[in-house]
Amino acid sequence: MLAPVMREKSSQLVQFDDLGRRSRKSLFGLDAEDLSDCMLEAGEPPWRGCQLVEALYRQRITELDAITTLPKALRQRLAAEGWQVGRPAITQVFQSADGTERYLVEGQSGDGLTMETVWMPEGDGGESGDGSDSGEGRDSDRSETLGASSFPRSSAERVGDHQLGSTYGLGTPVLDSETREDSRQRATICVSSQVGCAVNCDFCLTARLGLQRNLTAGEIAGQVLAVFDRHAVEVGRDRVNLVFMGMGEPFLNYGNFMGAVRLLVGEMGLSPQRMTVSTSGIVPGIERFAGELPEFRPKLAISLNAPNDAVRSQIMPINRKWPIASVIDSVRKVKLRPRERITFEYVLLGGVTDRPEHAVEVARLIRRTGLPAKVNLIAWNPGPGIHYATPQLEAVEAFRRTLMDAGIPAYVRKPRGRDIYAACGQLKRTVEG
Which range binds ligand SAH by CB under 6 A, 22-30, 220-228, 266-274, 379-387? 379-387
Q: Please pick, from the candidates 94, 203, 228, 399, the single residue that binds ligand SAH as defined by CB under 6 A.
A: 203
Whose Cβ is closer to ligand SAH: residue 95's or residue 278's? 278
Whole-number Å distance between alpha carbons of 158 and 61: 9
Whose Cβ is closer to ligand SF4: residue 100's or residue 280's? 280
Q: Is 286 in the site for ligand SF4 (CB under 6 A)?
A: no
Q: Please pick, from the candidates 305, 330, 353, 402, the single residue that binds ligand SAH as defined by CB under 6 A.
A: 305
Encoded one letter per residue, x for contact with ligand SF4 by CB under 6 A and - for no contact, window 138-177 reads ----------------------------------------
Whole-number Å distance between alpha carbons of 191 and 116: 7
Q: Which residues contact 316 (CB under 8 A, 6 or more apart)?
A: 199, 201, 202, 280, 281, 303, 305, 306
Report residue 52 CA to chain centroid gap: 24
Which residue spans within 306-350 are E strands per DSSP?
A: 342-348
423 contacts which partner out of ligand SAH, ligand SF4, none, CB within 5 to 8 A by kind? ligand SAH
Site for ligand SAH in 397-416 (CB under 6 A): none
Minimum distance, C-beta of residue 301 to ligand SAH, in the bound complex (Å): 7
Q: Tell me how far apart the 2 most distant CA atoms of the chain are, in Å.
A: 70
Q: Please pick, from the candidates 32, 90, 164, 207, the single residue that binds ligand SF4 as defined by CB under 6 A.
A: 207
Nearest of 411, 362, 414 to residue 137 by alpha carbon: 411
Whole-number Å distance between alpha carbons of 433 and 412: 30
Q: Please pick, from the candidates 30, 378, 396, 403, the single residue that binds ligand SAH as defined by CB under 6 A.
A: 378
Nearest of 311, 289, 320 to residue 302 by alpha carbon: 289
Is 424 tagged catalytic? yes
Q: Are 317 and 200 in contact (CB under 8 A)?
A: yes
Nearest of 328, 355, 353, 354 to residue 342 by alpha carbon: 328
383 contacts which partner out of ligand SF4, ligand SAH, none, CB within 5 to 8 A by kind? ligand SAH
Q: Is 199 in the site for ligand SF4 (CB under 6 A)?
A: yes
Read off φ and ψ for residue 46, nearest 5 degrees: -60, -25
Q: Is 209 in the site for ligand SF4 (CB under 6 A)?
A: no
Whole-number Å distance between alpha carbons of 121 and 223: 16
Is 116 tagged catalytic? yes
Whole-number Å distance between alpha carbons of 410 and 431: 33
State the catalytic residue, choosing from 116, 127, 136, 219.
116
Which range binds ligand SF4 by CB under 6 A, 86-94, 199-207, 265-273, 381-389? 199-207
Residues forming contacts to ligand SF4 in the complex (CB under 6 A) are 197, 199-201, 204, 206-207, 248-249, 280, 303, 424
Residues forming contacts to ligand SAH in the complex (CB under 6 A) are 197, 203-204, 245, 249, 278-280, 303, 305, 345, 347, 378, 380-381, 383, 423-424
Catalytically active residues, by annotation: 116, 424
